[in-house]
Amino acid sequence: MSGQSTYVPKNAFAKWFESRLPLIGFARNSFVTFPNPRNLNYWWTFGGILAFMLGFQIVTGVVLAMHYTPDSKLAFLSVEHIMRDVNYGWLLRYAHSNGASLFFAAVYIHMLRGLYYGSYKAPREVLWILGVTIYLLMMATGFLGYTLPWGQMSFWGATVITSLFGAIPLVGSTITTWLWGGYAVDNATLNRFYALHYLLPFMIAGVVVLHIWALHVPGSNNPTGIEKKTDKDTLPFHPYFTVKDGFGLVVFLIVFAWFLFYIPNYLGDADNYIEANPLQTPAEIVPEWYYLPYYAILRSIPSKLTGVIALFSAILIFAFLPWLDRSPVKSASYRPLYRIFFWIFVAVVLGLGYIGANRPEGSFVIAGRILTICYFAFFLVVLPLLPFVEKPRPLPASIADAVLGKTAESQRKT
């Protein structure tokens, strides 16, 4: 994807094949000799972790699909059949449900890494927007998947989220009916959600290919935010980053295994172990944890339509980051004020998540509104205006200078 192919086929078959489809050279250039900035830290291993998690979710999901029944009368029982009677069914199902959560945890770290080091800035705007697209598809997939066990929270979560479209003027109720395949969330809804839940991951995989393609044109950003200039700034992908990513992935898998084997229901909702009952609304309808900040934004706004607009804006605003952030300096390491605002933003999102999990009453309402304003202010006020008041620290001349200079400095200190 970058530069001339340096691959020279060694045997006759490889030569024959390579002249017809240069696949080996392509793979080699992309994942073996590809020059990566030498200073990538462990936050950069989450790209590889996410690729692994997508594959993992597809494999476990396909096997689960062999045992699951998408029928509103049987879905809940078929999940319990998987948990009790299918060989290692409990493992597959807990791996898939916790895998979704860990996938989102990884994607949030990946996004925050991009936000901290300015990875969305030129020349990586398209790469970033493809990432936002993947995130949107992931959210849709996660939501659709959560309805499939057909527990109380599955059913009522699906009801609440699909009802959001009812807020659209004029065509709202038509759209909702169309989404449901009827006049309420029912068997038709479950069937189409199942079909779409199976489809979307492959669309994600397609966009991931574009995402990696767009990544390999300029190459990875790095903690300095300076583009690679010479060979001194880079190291080949293999073995340096295969081993580093591999180590990062295995450490991540330890955390994943902790959830899967010891606290598999920690991130779930007890109500979802009660079969869906359209006649009985749960006391509290709460989405999965990874949607909670957006849920808080939705509920902070008294008007339903405005709330829905705010909800979708809060997600889509990420796509405009490359143009909202006016600073020419990418990395927060050299932006003393931005670094502070970044961590405030992280705290705001966590606060919104906490509020999203609680009943919208009393001080939670006020706090939710204040934090919603803070959330949007970060994008619409802080990012565009900060460069006018912030004085960035001097940038090193090159990645190599930054790395070697740091070492020289630390050697001088000791």
Partner 1 sequence: MFALGVALAAPVFAAQSDSSQGGGIGSETHAVPARQSWTFAGPFGKFDPEQLQRGFKVYHDVCSNCHSLKLVAFRDLADPEGPDFSEGQVKALAATYKIEDGPNDAGQMFERPGRPSDHFPWVFANPEAAKAALGAVPPDMSLLAKARTYPRPFPLFLFDAFTQYQETGPDYIVAILNGYTHPGDDHWNLYFPGHTIAMPRPLKDGAVQYTDGAPQTLTQYSRDVAAFLYWAAEPKLDERKQMGMRVIAFLIVFAGLLYFTKRRIWAGVAGH
Active-site hit among 96, 121, 228, 244: 244
Out of 29, 34, 38, 70, which residue is the one contacting partner 1 (CB under 8 A)? 38
Q: Give CA angle at 60 (265, 238), nearest 5°.
A: 110
Q: Which of 26, 240, 312, 376 binds partner 1 (CB under 8 A)?
A: 240
Q: Which of 188, 309, 367, 404 forms a contact with partner 1 (CB under 8 A)?
A: 404
- Structure-token match 């109500």, residue found: 271
Interface map 92-121 toward partner 1 (x if CB under 8 A)? --x---------------------------
**Is residue 24 a contact point for partner 1 (CB under 8 A)?**
no
Owner of token pair 């709330």: 307
d(CA 318, CA 371): 17
Q: Which residues pair with 236 in a beta bridge?
A: 35
From the list 322, 287, 307, the residue with the least C-alpha distance to 126 is 322
Taking CB under 8 A as the binding criterion, the range among 56-64, 130-138, 281-289, 377-385 that sits at the site for partner 1 is: 281-289
Residue type, 300: S
The C-alpha atoms of residue 182 and residue 178 are separated, in whole angstroms, by 7
Give yes or no for a contact between 76 and 150, defined as CB atoms under 8 angstroms apart: yes
381 binds partner 1 (CB under 8 A): no
Q: Does 288 bind partner 1 (CB under 8 A)?
A: yes
Residue 74 makes CB contacts below 8 A (sequence gap 6+) with: none
Told to check if 282 binds partner 1 by CB under 8 A, we report yes
- Asked if 33 interacts with partner 1 (CB under 8 A), we say no
The active-site residue out of 78, 97, 154, 220 is 220
Which residues are 36's β-sheet partners? 235
Give the residue, chosen from 21, 283, 363, 389, that forms a contact with partner 1 under the rule CB under 8 A. Answer: 283
Residue type, 343: W
Query: Given the complex with partner 1, which of 229 and 406 has the nearer CB atom?
Result: 406
Active site residue 81: no
Task: Round to whole Å and give the CA distance between 96 and 197.
Answer: 13
- For the question of residue 220 being annotated catalytic, the response is yes
In the bound complex, what is the minimum distance in angstroms from residue 158's beta carbon to partner 1? 15
Q: What is the C-alpha radius of gyration for the chain, rounded to an integer number of angstroms?
A: 24
Structure tokens at 265: 């229901």
Which neighbouring-strand residues pair with 234? 37
Q: Does 233 bind partner 1 (CB under 8 A)?
A: no
Q: Identify whether 409 is a catalytic site residue.
A: no
One residue of 137, 269, 318, 352 binding partner 1 per CB under 8 A: 269
Active site annotation includes 15: no
DSSP states of 302-355 as a string? SSHHHHHHHHHHHHHGGGGHHHH---S---GGG-HHHHHHHHHHHHHHHHHHHH
User: In sequence order, what are the residues at sequence separation of 6 or more whose Cβ sits closer than 8 angstroms to the Cβ of residue 262?
Assistant: none
Segment contacting partner 1 by CB under 8 A, of 202-210, 211-219, 255-263, 372-380: 255-263
Structure token pair of residue 142: 């996660």
Taking CB under 8 A as the binding criterion, the range among 190-198, 213-221, 350-358, 386-394 that sits at the site for partner 1 is 350-358
401 is catalytic: no
**124 to 153, contacts with partner 1 by CB under 8 A?**
152
Handedness of CA 333, 338, 342, 344 (dihedral sign): positive
Residues that bind partner 1 (CB under 8 A): 38-39, 77, 80, 83-84, 90-91, 94, 152, 235, 239-240, 243-244, 246-247, 250-251, 253-254, 257-258, 260-271, 273-274, 280, 282-290, 292, 353-354, 356-359, 361, 400, 403-404, 406-407
Catalytic residue set? 216, 220, 244-245, 288
